[in-house]
Structure 1
Amino acid sequence: MPGLLRGVARTAVVAGTATAVSNRVSRRQAGRWAQQDYEQQQRPAYEQPQEQAPPPAPPAPQPAAPDEMTHRIDQLKQLADLKAQNVLTEEEFESQKRLLLG
């Protein structure tokens, strides 16, 4: 029975310590946030940081011209034929396909 009591007491001490530390951290963080809010309210309007617009989105890739697309399809068919004839390995085929499709 003393071992069980000792285990329960140890658990209670650990839990109590963890709770105390957690509460202290929460209070310190709340204090910091309150201080930052206070400092921002005390600043003159001209010193307030201005929000910047997000950077523009990158341009969308241009679709390939019909002639270029037809050319790529023909090249893919040729690659597939070479692979079917065992002239190209699977790795070579995938590598060339990635180059074509960019």
Structure 2
Amino acid sequence: MRLLRTAARTAVIAGTASRVHNRVAARQQGAWAASTTAPPPPAASAGDERSAALRQLRELGELRDSGVLTEAEFEAEKAKILGTTD
């Protein structure tokens, strides 16, 4: 009888330890998965900003050449795009 009681107690302890282990492992895996998600894509790289500014300047130049913008308007818009204030 004593052997049966010891075996039952051992089974309960082992089962409890197994459940605790599984819960801890699941929590750790969740934390690891959350920390290893892909980083958000960069907002805009310097190359993208530069090409957008060049495209805008090219369009402004075309508007100036076609007579839609005056030279003063062109220079003011160019300063805005380039971030300079003259």
TM-score, with length taken from structure 1: 0.38
The structure whose residues are more often helix, as a share, is 2
